[in-house]
Amino acid sequence: MAQSDSIPPGTLYMLVLKTLARLGPMHGYGIALFIQETSDGVLEVEEGSLYPALQRMLLKGWVEAEWRQTENNRRARFYSMTAEGRKTLRAEVQSFDRVNRAIDLIIHPSEG
Amino acid sequence: MSIFKELQRRWQYWRDRSLRDAELQEELQFHIDHLDTRQKRARFGNATRFREDARDVWISRALDELLSDVKYAIRGLRKSPAFAATAIGTLALGIGAGTAVFSLAQAVLLKPLPYPDPESLVMIFEGNERSAKSRTDTSPATYRSLRDSMRTMEKLALFGSTEKNLTGEGEPERLDGGTASANFFSTIGVQPFLGRLFQAGDDEMGKEDVVVLTYELWERRFASDRAIVGKQIRLNETPHTVIGVLPPKFRFYFERFELWTPFALSPERWAASRGARYIYVTGRVRNGFTMAQVQSELDSLGADFRRDFPREMSASKFGAVGLHDRMTEDTRTSLYFLLAAVIALLLIACSNVANLQLARSVSRGAEMAVRSALGAGRGRLLRQMLTESLVISVAAGVIGLVIAQGAFTLLQTLVPSGMAANARLGLNASTVGIMFGLAFGATLLSGLLPAVRGARSLTTRAIGDRGQDRARGVLIVAEVSLAILLLTSAALLFRTFANLNDVDPGFRANDLLSAQTVLPPVMYKQPALRTRFYTDVLERVRAIPGVASAAYTSAVPTTWKGGFSGYVAEGKPFIRGTSNAMMRQVTSDYFATMNIGLRAGRVFTASDRAGSEMVTVVNKAFADFVWPGEDPIGKRLRRGAPESDTPWIRVVGVVENVLEMGLANKPAAITYFPESQHPAASFSSPLYVVVRTQGDPAAFAPALRRAILDVNPNQTVAKLMPVTQIMAKEVEERRLHASITVAFAAAALLLACLGIYGVLSYAVAQRRREFGVRLAMGSSQSRLAGLVLGSGLRLTLAGVVIGMAAAWALTRYMEALLFQVTPHDPVAFGIVPAVLLVTALVACWIPARRAMRLDPSEALRYD
C-alpha cells in the first residue's frame, strides 16, 4: 500500500503537526495537499497512512477534531493542534534536527 | 497521567464506535472526492481497508497490546506460583464477598419494582400525631374518602390480607390471600396471564365470589390447567369462580399471597368501618405532582378527618411513602452496614495484594531494568504491571463468583418480603458485571501504587528505597485499622445476637408444638360450634401419649404482632391512642401449657364459662400501665371505646410479660380473655393450638394433625411446627448479621496478619546482612528479635489506635442493628484490640524468630 518514495517512518506526525501549526484547523485532504505542494510534490501522503496517523494523534491527544463546513459547503472533519501537540511538535523537530545533523555528519564528512 | 486519558479516549471511541466509523467513511469519501480520476482509479477498492487501518488504531492495536501484556503477565505469574496463589486467593475472598453483597444491594435498592412506571406508585398510611413514624393500616371508609377527595393522586386502590381454606380436590389447604378493590390491578398496571383480573363491579356485594390465582398457585395446585378460567373452586366453603391467572412472580407488598379476591362490604359495614384499620392504600401520583405535594394534601385532609370524625380519628395523621422506599426501609440499614463491611474487607484484600506486589516489584527490579534498557517506555512498563494486576483481579473475580454463589442463599433472606420473587440472587449478567467492576476497582487499588513505585524506582534506580518501606508500612497500618473496624462491629453484632438469644420470651418455647386451624365462618356461624371444636380437638390431643397439656389461643407469641384494641379501665381516664392493648382469647390451660408465670391472682379455670362473671387476666405491662402501684386484682375494665356498651370484666389475675411484639421489642400490654366467654367469631378468636410435649415436639406433629382431622376431616392444618422454630425466625436476621460480619472480620484478621507477616519476613530477609553485622558486633540474638518484633508491633499499634478511633466514631451508625448493647460497648472495645494484638504478635513472632536464628557468618556471606 505504501508508495515507494513516501515519507520516512516516524516523520509523518511531525509533518502533520507542522502543517496544522502553519495552516490552523484543516481537514485531512487539505493536510495531504499542503504537504505535497510544500514539498514540491516529493512527499505524497497516502490516505492509507494519513488517516491512521490522524487517528493515532487523536488518541494521543495531540490533535482535536471537529466537523465544519468547507468553503463549498461540504461537511469535513477539521483537525487542530492541542497544547500537547505543540509540545510534541517541538520535541519531534528538535530530535529530527539532531538526527539530521548527525546523519549529515556521517554522509557528508567535512574535510576540514 | 496520559495513559489514563488514552484509555478514556479509547473507551469513548468504543462507546461511539458506529458513529466514529461513519465519520471515518465520510471523511475518506470527502478526500477521495477531491482527487483526480487517475488517483481515484489507483485507490479503487482501497477505501475500506484505509478505514479499517484507521479504526485499528483505536481497537485492534490496543487489543493486541493488551493481549501481549496479558500473555506476559500470565507467564510472569506462573513463574512465581506462591505469589500468584496468595494474591488471587486474597482478592477472590474480597471480590467474592463484594460481588455477593453488591448484588444484594443492586437487587434490593437499585432494581426497579416489576410494575410499569414503578416510581409513581406510593403507599398511603394512617399514623397518629404522637409519632410521625408510626404507620398503621387505614380503614375502608377512610380509603373511600381519600379516593374521592385526593387531587394529587391519579388512582387509589385498597388491598388487604385474607386467609382462605381451599377445599375440594386434594388435601384441604390454608392459603394466604390478598383482597383488593376492583381497580387494584389496573392501578398497578398488571396484565393477566389467563382470563381477566378484577374489573369494576367485582367488588360489589353479591358479585364478589370470584378469585384470581397467582401463577404459582395455578401451577402447584391446579396443574397449570389452562381451562381453569370459569371453573369454580371452594374457598372457605363457598364456591368462587376463577376469573383469571396472574403472570409468573406477580407479588405486591406481601410475598405470601397466593390468590386474590375482591374486597366487598355491605353499605352498612362500609359506613361503620371508620375506626377499623385493617386495609392498605396504594396508588399512583398524578403526573406533574411531587411527593411533597401529595404529603401536603394529606396533611390538610388529615386535619379535616380529625375535625369530621373526632371519635375514630382524633389523632390521625397521614403519610405517603414511595412503594419502593416502604418495601426496603427495614432492610436499608442492614444493607448499608453490609456494604460498608464488605468494602472494608475488599480494601484490606487490595492493600494486602498491593503489599505483595511491592515486595515483588523490588525483587523484579533487575528484570524491569533489562526491559527498560531494551526500550520499553515507562508508560509501557506501568501498563504491563497494571495488566498483571488485572490478570490477578479477573482470575480472583472468577473464583469470587463461586464464593458469591455460595453466599447468595444466605443473603437471599435479607431481600425484603414482597420483593423476593423478583429479586432472586444468583449468577446473572448483573452479578458478573458487578464482579468485573469490583475486579477493575481492585486492579487499580492493588496495582497502581506498586506499578507507579515500580516504574519510579526504575528510573531512579533506587531499588528498595526507604519510600518503599514506608508505603508498605502505611498499607499495614490501614489494614490493621480496617480489621479493627470490622472486628468491633462483629463483636457488637455477636453480642446483639447472644443477647437476643438470652431474652426470656416470657414462656418456655422448648417442647412446645403448635398448629394453625382456621374455622371457615360459613361452617361455624353458631358460636357454640366454635367452642365445641376447640374442646373436641383439645380432648383428643390430651389423649395422645406424651402430651402434657394443650390449649387454644389467638396466636402463638410473635406470629401476630397486632390485635390491639381499645379498653376502658373503671375509674381511669380514657386516653385515645394510649388506652390500647393486645386482645388474646385463650382456653383455660393456656398459661399452664405455655409456662407463663402467674404473678398475682389466678388464671382461668373451667368455671369461667359463658354466663358466669366475665373475667380477664392481664400481663404485668398492662397492670403497671393502668394501675401503677395498685393491686389490679378485682378491678374492672371494658373492651372497646368509652361510648360502646360492652359489659364490665373483672381482672382475676396478673401474669408475666410475653414478648408478643418480638424479642427485641418492649413487652406490649396484653389482656387475655377466656374463649368460652367470647364465643362469637372475632378478630381475636383462637386460631392456634399449642401442645406441651414430653420429648421432641416435632415427633408429635403427625398425631396432632390426626387428632384435628378426627374432629373435622375437612379442617385445614397449617404452620404445624415446634414453637422453637417460630422463635428462631425472630433471631434469624440478627444471626445472619452476626455470622456474616464475624466471617468478614475473621477474614480481615487473617489478611491483616498475613500482611504483617509478609512485611516483617521481607524486612528480615532484606536486613540479613545488617543483622549479621550487628551480631558480629556483639548484639545479642534476642535483641535482634526484639528489633523485628518492635517494628511489627509499632505498625500494629498504630493501626489499632486509628482503628479504635474510627470504630468509636462510626459504630453509632449501627445502633439500629444492636440490641441491649451500646455502640461503645466496653466488652467489644476491650476484647477486639486484645484479639488483634495477640494474633499480630504471632504474625510478628515467626519472622522475629528467624532473625534470632541467624548465623552471623552465614548472614554475611549471603547474597
Q: Quick check: B410 pLDDT over 50?
A: yes
Shortest distance between the Cα of A69 and any Cα of chain B, in A, equals: 12
The answer to whether B46 and A48 have CB atoms below 8 angstroms apart is yes
Please give the Cα distance from B715 to B245 (Å, whole number). Answer: 26
Chain segment B494-503, per-residue pLDDT in tens: 999 999 888 8
Phi, psi angles (nearest 5°) of residue B625? -75, -45
Beta carbons of A27 and B55 less than 8 Å apart: no
Cα separations (Å) of B387 from A72, B401, B444?
49, 21, 10
Mean pLDDT in residue range B417-438: 87
Please give the Cα distance from B443 to B7 (Å, whole number). Answer: 15
Chain B residues inside the 8 Å CB shell of A27: 27, 30
Domains and CATH numbers, chain A: 12-107 (1.10.10.10)
Please give the Cα distance from B330 to B326 (Å, whole number). Answer: 8
Q: Least CA distance to B61: which residue of chain A?
A: A56
Beta carbons of B6 and A60 less than 8 Å apart: yes
* ∠ CA B38-B40-B45, rounded to 5°: 130
Task: Report pLDDT for B259.
Answer: 95
Chain A residues inside the 8 Å CB shell of B32: 47
Task: Pick the range with the lowest mean pLDDT from B376-380, B471-475, B666-670.
Answer: B376-380
Mean pLDDT in residue range B378-385: 78
Task: Report pLDDT for B634.
Answer: 94
Q: Least CA distance to A31: which residue of chain B?
A: B31
Q: Does A3 touch chain B (CB under 8 A)?
A: no
Q: Quick check: B153 pLDDT over 90?
A: yes
Chain B residues inside the 8 Å CB shell of A1: 46, 49
Q: What is the mean pLDDT of chain A?
A: 85
**Chain A, 13-42: which have a CB under 8 Å from a chain B CB?**
27-29, 32-33
Q: Quick check: B427 pLDDT over 70?
A: yes
Q: Does A77 touch chain B (CB under 8 A)?
A: yes
Task: Report pLDDT for A1.
Answer: 36
B651: left (phi over 0), alpha (psi -120 to 50) or beta: beta
Outline where DSSP puts E strands in B34-193.
121-128, 131-136, 153-167, 173-180
Cβ atoms < 10 Å from Cβ of B777? 8
Mean pLDDT in residue range B747-758: 87
Q: Does A8 touch chain B (CB under 8 A)?
A: no
The answer to whether B127 and B134 have CB atoms below 8 angstroms apart is yes
Task: Report pLDDT for B465.
Answer: 53
Task: Pick the range with the lowest mean pLDDT from B31-40, B212-221, B395-404.
Answer: B31-40
Q: What is the mean pLDDT of chain B?
A: 87
Q: Quick check: B727 pLDDT over 80?
A: yes
Residue corresponding to grid cell 411513602:
B321
Cα separations (Å) of A75 from A36, A70, A71, B52?
23, 6, 10, 21
**Greater pLDDT, B134 or B647:** B647
Share of chain B above pLDDT 90, in %: 45
Task: Pick the range with the lowest mean pLDDT from A23-37, B79-93, B845-859.
Answer: B845-859
CB burial class (10 A; 0-12, 13-18, 19+) of residue A25? middle
Q: Which residues of B touch A (CB under 8 A)?
A: 2, 5-6, 9-10, 13, 23-24, 26-28, 30-32, 34, 43, 46-47, 49-51, 53-58
**Coil, helix or strand at residue B619:** strand
Q: Quick check: B30 pLDDT over 80?
A: yes
Mean pLDDT in residue range B196-216: 92
Confidence of residue A31 (pLDDT cuts 50, 70, 90): very high
Chain segment B678-719, per-residue pLDDT in tens: 888 777 888 899 999 999 999 999 999 999 999 998 888 989
Task: Report pLDDT for B256.
Answer: 86
Confidence of residue B756 (pLDDT cuts 50, 70, 90): confident
User: Which residue out of B13, B31, B33, B380 would a mutagenesis test of the A interface target, given it has the greatest number of A Cβ atoms within 10 Å?
Assistant: B31
Rg (CA), chain A: 16
Beta carbons of A51 and B28 less than 8 Å apart: yes
Q: Quick check: B69 pLDDT over 90?
A: no
Chain A residues inside the 8 Å CB shell of B27: 27-28, 51, 76-77
ipTM: 0.84
Task: Report pLDDT for B396.
Answer: 93
Task: Pick the range with the lowest mean pLDDT from A3-7, B169-173, B571-575, B652-656.
Answer: A3-7
Residue corresponding to grid cell 370470584:
B210
Chain B residues inside the 8 Å CB shell of A60: 2, 6
Mean pLDDT in residue range B749-756: 87
The answer to whether B434 and B106 have CB atoms below 8 angstroms apart is yes
Task: Report pLDDT for B464.
Answer: 47
Please give the Cα distance from B452 to B454 (Å, whole number). Answer: 5
Confidence of residue B310 (pLDDT cuts 50, 70, 90): confident
Shortest distance between the Cα of B57 and any Cα of chain A, in A, equals: 6
Chain A residues inside the 8 Å CB shell of B51: 51
Confidence of residue B468 (pLDDT cuts 50, 70, 90): low
Task: Report pLDDT for B375.
Answer: 64
Q: Least CA distance to B7: which residue of chain A?
A: A59
